Structure 1
Amino acid sequence: MRFLRKLVGIAALVLAGIVAWLCFWPVPAEPVAWPAPTPPGYVGAHAPNTRLADLRTIDLGGDFGPEHIAFGPDGKLYAAMTSGNVLRMDADGTNREIFAKTGGRVLGFDFDAEGRMVAADAMIGLLVISAEGRMRVLADRVGADDPVRYANSVVVAADGTIYFTDASARFSPAQWGGTYEASVLDILEQAATGRVLACDPATGNTRVVAHGLSFANGIALSSDGRALFVAETGRYRIWKIDAAARDVDVRGGSPQARALIENLPGYPDNLMRGRDGRVWVGLFRPRNPAADALAQRPFLRKVLLRLPRAMLPTGAPYGHVFAIDEDGRVVEDLQDPRGAYPETTGATETADRLYIHSLHARVIGWLPR
C-alpha cells in the first residue's frame, strides 16, 4: 500500500509538471484573438472533383520541394528547391542542371527585363541572380534598420519595380529553424505583421506598399500593372492592392486595398499569372475546423505551440489549385481529395501544360492542357 501511495504521488508530480509546462513554458509567440470566418467547405465553385489526380511527373534528381516553378526568358523551366538549389531544365524535364545555390530557401522568383532572376529567399532577402548564376543581395531591409525577415514571393513590373512580400515582420526562418517553424509561429500568433514591399532595382531602396497581413504570401500583378494580388495565408483570403499605395494598413478600410476573395476553403500560397487573364492560386492545405475554433482562444493556441509540431491541427492532405479572373471569379478548379501530390502551392500554365508547385514533393507534377 505504501508503494502504491508513493507511485500515485510520483504520477501526480509528473502530471503537475506536464500541466505546468503546457501552461507556462515560454514560447516566442504571443497569440491574439481574431474573428475566423466559418469554414465554407468544398462547395460552389470549389465543389469536390478529381481533375488534379494522376499527375504526370518530372524527376528532380534527389532534390525536393518545388515550391515555385516558372519559365525564364531563355525558355527553360526553373524550380526552387528546399535544399536552396534553383534547378533549370527543358520544359519536359530533360537537361536538368543546378542553376544557382543560394544557401537559403528561395520561395518565389521572377525575371527582369535584362533576363536576370529576381528571387525572394526566406533566409537571405531579395536576390538578383545573373544568367550565369552569379548572385548578389539586392535588398534585405527597409530603410536603415528595418530588416526583411521573411522574403516570400516576388513579381517584377514593366517599369522595373520589384514587388515582394515579407511574410512576417516577427519571425525570421533564419532565426527560428526554417520556413515551416517561422510560419507556424506567425500564423498561430495572428499578429498580422506581414507586408508588401516595393524595391527600386537601381538603388535597392525599398518601401512599404501595405502592411497588416497575416502571413503575406503569393503576389501577382494585374494585367494593367496598376494593382497587386496578394495571398494572405493566415486568414484565407486574397487581396487586391493599389501598386502605388504607400504604407497602407489593409485592416483600416483604405480604398487602396480590398479583400478580393475571402473565406477560402484552404490556405492560399503562390499566385501566378496564367493564360487568357487567369491568375492561378494554390491551396497547400485545407482548413481544419479545430484550428478555426481556437481563433478566439489565444491561450490555447499558446499551449499548442508547446506541443510537438506533428500534433498541430493542420488539416489532411488535399491537392487543390484554381484559377480566378481579375474580379475574383473562379474560372477553373482542380482537386485531388487523396492529396497524392503533397502541399500544392501553385500552378504555372503554358499552352500545353499545367505545372503544379509543391512544398514537399520529390517530383514536379504536371497535366496536359
Structure 2
Amino acid sequence: MLKKTLAAFGLLLLAAIAYLALWPVPVRPVVWSAPTDPGYTGAFAVNDHLAQLNMIDLGREEGPEHIVIGPDGKLYTTVLSGNILRMNPEGSAQEAFVNTGGRVLGFDFDSAGNLIAADAIKGLLSISPSKQITVLTNQVDGQPIRYADGVVVARGSGTMYFTDASTRFAPAEWGGTFEASVLDILEQSATGRVLAYDPATKATRVVARGLAFANGIALSADEKSLFVAETGKYRVWKIGIDASNLDVGADAANPQAVVLLDNLPGYPDNLMRGLDGKIWVGLVKPRNPTIDKLADKPFLRSVTMRLPRSLWPVPKAYGHVVAFSEDGKVLASMQDATGAYPETTAVTETRDRLYVQSLHAKGLGWLKR
C-alpha cells in the first residue's frame, strides 16, 4: 500500500513539474536588466500628501483613467465601461457623453473642438461635439495598431502624437487592457511605439519604437519634443518629434531620444501637462522586489504564468503622483501608502483643483490646489 501511495505521489509530482516547466503560455520572456530600486528616498521620500482625497461620486462607473477639461469648460473622463463622461468641474450634471464601443485610455481636444481619443480596441478616434465617431487610423505601415494608449495634439501643427503600448498583446484578444499590459510587461519584448498622425495628409508614421509598454505622452512647451512613459522599465523618455522609426533600445546614444527620469520607484502611467511648466505622471503601482529579481530569469517568469493568479507577484496598492520639469527635476511627490485611491495614473491640474486619475477607483478624487 505504501509503495502504491509513493508511486502515485511521484507521478503527481512529475506531472506538476512537467506542467510548471512545459505548459504553453502566451509570453516569451526575454532577459533584461532591472536597475536597483532606490526606494522611497530623496525626492520620493514617503509622505501622506495624497491621503484624504475629496471624492466626486461617479455612480456605477469606475476607473476615471484620464481627465481633461474640454474647450466647453466641462470635465471629461474615461471610465471602465467604455463611456466618456462629461460633467461640470465640481462633478454636477454628469452624463455619458459617448461610448466608443471600446476602451478609451487617453484623449485630447483638437483646435476644432473634436475629442481625439486613443482607444485601446478601436485605434485613434475623432469624436465631434455632436458625438459623431470617426476612426482616424488603426494601422501603420500596413500593420494594425493593437493597443492605442495615450495621445496629445500639437496646437501648432495639429499633428496627433500617440502611443501604441504593445504590438504583441492587444486588449481585444487578451481579456482587456490590464491583462494585456501584464503580459507585455512580464515578457519585456519592448514592442511599444510612438506614432504620429497628420490630419492634413491622413498619414500615420512611426516616431520611435523599442519601448517596454509605451504609455503616457505629453508635448514640450515649444512642441519640439515628446515626453513618453515607458511603464515596463520605470522611466520617462524625451524624444524629438522629428525622429523617424527610431529604435530607442538599440540606439541609446541617439540625441533624439534621452531618458529624462530613470529608475522610478513605481510604474509610470499617464503624462499630463500642468500649470507653471509642470508635467504630472502617476506611478500606477510601486515596484516589487520579486519582479526585479526575475528580470534576468525568463524561464522563471514563464513559470509564474502557470501559477494561480493569486500567487503572482502583483505589487501592492500605493497611491503616488509626481510632478517634474522639462529638464527632469522632480517638483512634487504626493503619496498615500494605504493605496485607498487605487492605481493613480496622473493628475489633471487646474487653477482650483488637482484631479487624480485612477484605473479602478469608484469615484474621482481631487484636492484643492
The alignment's TM-score, normalised by the length of structure 2, stands at 0.97
What's 1:303 paired with? 303
Structure 2: tracts of 5 or more residues without a match: none
**What are the ranges of 5 or more consecutive residues in structure 1 without an aligned counterpart?**
none
Among candidates 39, 42, 58, match of residue 41 of structure 1: 39
Task: After superposition, give the CA deviation of every residue in 1:127-164 in whole Å (9 maximum; x if it has no partner).
Answer: 11111222121110003x21101000000002100000
Q: How far is 1:9 from its partner?
A: 2.5
Between stretches 9-18 and 230-239, larger displacement belongs to 9-18
Deviation at 1:7, TM superposition (A): 3.1
Q: How far 1:176 moved relative to its partner?
A: 1.3
For 1:362 and 1:341, the matched residues in 2 are separated by 9
Q: Which residue of 2 aligns with 1:355?
A: 355
- Aligned residue for 2:47, secondary structure, equals coil
Runs of 4+ with >3 A deviation = none
**Structure 2 residue aligned with 1:209:** 207
> In 2, Cα distance between the equivalents of 1:134 and 1:8?
68
Query: Alignment partner of 1:62: what SS?
Result: coil
What's the CA shift string for 1:318-339, capped at 9, x where partnerless?
0000100100101111000111
Give 1:355 shift: 0.3
Counterpart residue type for residue 45 of structure 1: A
TM-score by length of 1: 0.97
CA displacement 1:80-105 (0-9 Å, x = unmatched): 01111110000010000001101111
Q: Deviations over 1:4-47 (max 9, x none)?
A: 43333323222222221111111121101001100110000000
CA distance in 2, matches of 1:40, 1:50: 19
Residue 306 of structure 2 is aligned to residue 321 of structure 1:
no
DSSP-derived class of the 1:327 partner: coil
Match in the other structure for 1:147: 144
Which amino acid in the other structure matches residue 260 of structure 2? L
CA deviation vs aligned residue, 1:42-67 (integer Å, no higher than 9, x gap): 00000000000010000112010111
The residue number in structure 2 matching 1:52 is 50
User: Could you say what secondary structure the match of 1:11 adopts?
Assistant: helix
Partners of 2:117 and 2:299 in 1: CA distance: 37
Deviations 1:182-220 (A, max 9, x none): 111111111111010000123431100000100000000
One-letter amino acid of the counterpart of residue 87, structure 2: M
Of the candidates 164, 173, 184, which is equivalent to residue 162 of structure 2? 164
State the shift of 1:177 in Å.
Answer: 1.3
Question: 1:279-298 deviations in whole A, cap 9, x for unaligned?
Answer: 00100100001100000000
Distance 1:309 1:103 in 2: 28
| Aligned-residue CA RMSD (Å) | 1.0
CA contact (8 A) 1:149 1:171 kept: yes
CA distance in 1, matches of 2:308, 2:218: 35
How many angstroms apart in 1 are the aligned matches of 2:207 and 2:310? 36
8 Å CA contact 1:78–1:86 kept in 2: the answer is: yes
Post-superposition Cα deviations, 1:266-313, rounded to whole Å, max 9, x if no partner, equal 000000000000000100100001100000000001111222333221
What is the count of residue pairs matched by the alignment?
A: 366
Worse overlay, 19-28 or 30-39: 19-28
Distance across 1 between alignment mates of 2:113 and 2:85: 16
Deviates more, 1:114-123 or 1:200-209: 200-209
Q: Which amino acid aligns with 2:67?
A: I
Deviation per residue, 1:230-264 (Å, 9 max, x gap): 00000000000001111111121211000001000
Q: 1: distance between equivalents of 2:267 and 2:99?
A: 28
* Distance in 2, Cα, partners of 1:26 & 1:154: 35
> What amino acid maps onto 1:153 in structure 2?
G
Could you tell me which of 85, 96, 111 is aligned with 1:98?
96
Amino acid in the other structure paired with 2:299:
F
- Matched-pair contact (CA < 8 Å) for 1:287–1:314: no
Q: Tell me which amino acid in the other structure corresponds to 2:294.
A: L
Residue aligning to 1:20: 18
1:368 and 2:365 correspond = no
| Equivalences for residues 84-233 of structure 1 within 5 A | 84-143=82-141, 145-158=142-155, 159-233=157-231
The CA distance in 2 between the partners of 1:273 and 1:236, in whole Å, is: 19
Question: What is the rounded CA distance, in whole Å, between the counterparts of 2:80 and 2:91 in structure 1?
Answer: 18
How far 1:343 sits from its partner (Å)? 0.4
User: Displacement of 1:354 after TM fit?
Assistant: 0.2
1:271 counterpart SS class = strand
Q: Is the 8 A contact 1:214 1:235 kept in 2?
A: yes
- Cα distance between partner residues in 2 of 1:308 and 1:80: 31
Name the stretch that deviates more: 308-317 or 247-256. Answer: 308-317
